[in-house]
Amino acid sequence: MIRTELAIVGAGPAGVCAALEAASYGVKVTLLDREQWIGGQLVKQTHKFFGWYEKSAGTRGVVIAKDLAVKVKANPDIRFMGSTEVLGYYQADGVLLLETPQGIQTLKPERLLVATGASEKMILFPGNDLPGVYGAGAVQTLMNVHGVRPGKSVLMIGSGNIGLIVSYQMAQAGVKVAAVVEALPHIGGYAVHASKIRRLGIPIYTRHTIKEAYGTDCVEGAVIWQLDDDWQGIPGTEKQLDVDVICLATGLTPLCEFLWQAGAEMTDIPELGGFVPLYDEHMETTAKGIYVAGDAAGIEEASTAMAEGRLAGLAIAYSLGKVPDHEFSRKRQDCLKELAELRAGPTSQAILKGLAAMREQMGKQARAQTRKKVRS
């Protein structure tokens, strides 16, 4: 069995920033990822980052990933185990089960950080199981990591930043983008991304969705239609599109299976993407010694994932007795200030509402625990 002070599942921006922060205090870190690379989603993000200028906005995600990978590899306190899938967490023993290139292994950490990111949401429509229906992240991986075009002509569902950016990247790669459809009455992503799409002559239909996909062995076409005020399709408004790819950019949901397995309290908060763990201001969940950061804690952006990762790494190093009190409270304040600044924009209002709901439940849970202790 491998033993380590801190195991981090996920070498995306959250996991890597946590690893670097904890290792800067001498914590021995084992950083695990099922991919062979460091950087998580960043490695496929060839676009210039949106966000806050001082925090990497304007830099391509893939460049940020390379920079983080260099720092991890240069740090003797971080052991990166790539191509290693974490299969499960055994609560009774506090052990992770790993599938490594050398075979099955077990790992017992003193602290665990879950930074596993998110998975893509599927939507229901006839034909959604045909080959040719992809998530936007999968399309990005195919094109930007493996250099493979997903098909010749695509229907994009969802006009958030991800839908808009991936549509643009497909157009750049020579895939015809037949249309972008959006169920809401307005475009979800930033105007700058929508304008780039429109300048290429790609129509964006708001208040529209997919009615069905059709084809014998794979997608051969799709039908879209307009929605009424009750989100029902309006008969007679159907448009048929000749596409071989349907790309879903309909949202992400936190990937937190290990937190369920660890017995952490979970709650469904739509503003954060679905079920998320309750966690305190140190990113520690209700399962003692188990922390969370990044999209696994609630769907946001890479910039917030990095700041949460630093906060979790700092708190973990502190919990292991490696950070002096005064330094911990100063650096913790810096992290919290950075997170508040990153969430200050109008697009973060829903996130703030979701976080407030999560904290309220966390408070209730803590009060219930105290009452239980007093009674016993």
The residue ranges that bind ligand FAD (CB under 6 A) are: 9-15, 32-35, 40-42, 45, 49-51, 85-86, 115-118, 136-137, 140, 162, 165-166, 255, 294-296, 300-303, 305
DSSP letter at 64? H
Neighbour tally for 124: CB within 10 Å? 6
Q: Which residues pair with 7 in a beta bridge?
A: 30, 112
Between 106 and 232, name the residue whose CB sits nearer to ligand FAD.
106
> Cβ of residue 13: shortest distance to ligand FAD, in angstroms?
4
Between 243 and 306, name the residue whose CB sits nearer to ligand FAD.
306
> Cβ of residue 55: shortest distance to ligand FAD, in angstroms?
8
| Cβ–Cβ under 8 Å, residues 39 and 16 | yes
- The angle, 0 to 180 degrees and rounded to 10, between the axes of the packed helices 325-342 and 302-319 is 160
Between 89 and 225, name the residue whose CB sits nearer to ligand FAD.
89
Between 85 and 268, name the residue whose CB sits nearer to ligand FAD.
85
Between 109 and 294, name the residue whose CB sits nearer to ligand FAD.
294
Taken as a whole, the chain contains a residue count of 376
> Cβ of residue 2: shortest distance to ligand FAD, in angstroms?
15
Between 223 and 248, name the residue whose CB sits nearer to ligand FAD.
248
Phi, psi of 266 (to 5 degrees): -120, 155
H or E segment at 221?
strand 221-226
H or E segment at 182?
strand 176-182
> Cβ of residue 337: shortest distance to ligand FAD, in angstroms?
18
| Cβ–Cβ under 8 Å, residues 130 and 158 | no
> Cβ of residue 227: shortest distance to ligand FAD, in angstroms?
25
Cβ-Cβ contacts under 8 Å for 202 (sequence gap 6 or more):
167, 171, 177, 179, 180
Q: Two tokens at 239?
A: 């448009």
> Cβ of residue 99: shortest distance to ligand FAD, in angstroms?
9
